[in-house]
Structure 1
Amino acid sequence: MAEQKPTKKDFVDLINTVMGTNVMTEDQLTRFLNEAKHVKDTSGTEGLLEYVQRVTNAPTSKDQLKKLANQIQQTGSAGAALDFLKNENLLTEQQARKLNKAIEQTAKKKKKNRRELLK
């Protein structure tokens, strides 16, 4: 059976867990993703990176965002992405631990749901 991919709800839960408060809904994430796709289609990667910076107020450079995207594409690993963010001083050790814990909880929940579906 193919591995289930995270849902929008999973991402929203992850974001809200990391932030420690409900800062995003599934509808907001859907709007963000739709707008990001539109920006990418009309303005390319550079436009997309500028959009992400503007919308998230992320304290990152476009170069850092490009490197992060490349890291995720090359490794497919959340751990490698977290290491990159720590090395670039974009996450503290505490934030990285919190994010990693939320990712692990989501993975466990997905695994449990798959087992229940197979029963």
Structure 2
Amino acid sequence: MTQQKPSKKDFVDLINSLMGQKIMTEDQLTKFLNDAKKVKETKGTEGFLEFVQKTTNAPASKDQLERLADEIKRSGNPVNAIDFLIKEKLLTDQQARKINQAIEHTKKKKRKN
């Protein structure tokens, strides 16, 4: 049995759930991903990281974003990324718990389908 990856809808639902209100739609996520891909292709990783910082108002430095990307590539595990964000004080323990709960909810939902 192959594991299904979360859909864009799952990811949008996760973001909206974490924010406590509807702040993103699937169309907005698609546009963001397409724009991010174009920036990566034309300006490389450095340009991509600047794009992420600018569009998300991420409170992370480019160095932190680079290390986060490296951690995700190295481990392939979102839990490790969350641990990294806690260690860098970019997420609180409470925020991390909410994210983990939303991820588990999505996994359960996928298993039912």
TM interval, shorter chain, is: over 0.9
Q: Distance in 2 between matches of 1:64 and 1:101?
A: 24
RMSD, aligned α-carbons: 0.7
Q: Offset of 1:57 from its aligned partner? A: 0.2
Kindly state the Cα deviation for residue 83 of structure 1 after the two structures are TM-superposed.
Answer: 0.5
Amino acid aligned to 2:57: N
Q: CA deviation at 1:77?
A: 1.2
5 Å-filtered alignment, 1:19-38, equals 19-38=19-38
1:53 aligns with 2:53: yes
Deviations 1:49-80, CA, capped at 9 Å, x for gaps: 00000000000011111111111111111211
Taking the TM superposition and a 5 Å limit, the aligned residue runs for 1:66-77 are 66-77=66-77
Moved more, 66-75 or 49-58: 66-75
Q: How many angstroms does 1:112 deviate by?
A: 1.1
Which of the pair has more CA radius of gyration?
Answer: 1
Q: Indicate the percent of aligned positions where both proteins have the same amino acid.
A: 65
